[in-house]
């Protein structure tokens, strides 16, 4: 195992998608991307090869999700992952009403603010009294 620092390729946010795409097309040893796990392996290979991602990890994950969906758009898991990043879901809705088997997002305005949702969750907790009274 070598302790020498490799030549680094710093990936900035404005070249993120193209850097990952170029790596997949040129240096991924013919490995195909079928799901997000394949994409994670590819990014780990990129890092081992000296690529450094100069951005927030959330932004990197967004790009990974986008490219995975672009390469495999018929996979509902890939579509759902991208949609979750774009919209909020109604957790109480068991029937997603979607004809393609994928989740249907609920708009942010339909969900209310984060504070409102937290307050509603707190209001749903029943106070049963002191735990000592249970014995």
For the whole prediction, is pTM greater than 0.95? no
Question: In this predicted model, which residue has the larger pLDDT, 131 or 40?
Answer: 40
pLDDT of residue 6: 77
Least Cα distance to 38 among 58, 68, 80 occurs for 68
What's the confidence (pLDDT) of residue 12?
95
11-49 confidence digits (pLDDT tens)? 999 999 999 999 999 876 667 888 999 999 999 999 999
> 118 vs 45, 89, 124, CA distance in Å?
40, 15, 10
Q: Break the chain into its structural domains and give their ranges.
A: 9-124
């Amino acid at each position: 195992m070598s302790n020498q620092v490799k030549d680094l390729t710093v990936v900035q946010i404005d070249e993120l998608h193209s850097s990952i795409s170029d790596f997949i097309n040129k240096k991924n040893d013919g490995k195909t991307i079928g799901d997000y796990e394949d994409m994670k392996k590819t990014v780990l290979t990129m890092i081992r090869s000296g690529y450094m991602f100069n951005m927030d990890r959330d932004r990197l994950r967004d790009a990974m999700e986008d490219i995975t969906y672009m390469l495999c758009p018929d996979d509902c898991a890939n579509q759902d992952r991208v949609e979750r990043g774009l919209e909020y879901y109604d957790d109480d809705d068991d029937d997603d009403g979607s004809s393609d088997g994928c989740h249907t997002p609920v708009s942010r305005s339909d969900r209310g603010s984060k504070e409102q949702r937290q307050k509603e969750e707190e209001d749903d907790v029943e106070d049963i009294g002191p735990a000592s009274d249970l014995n």
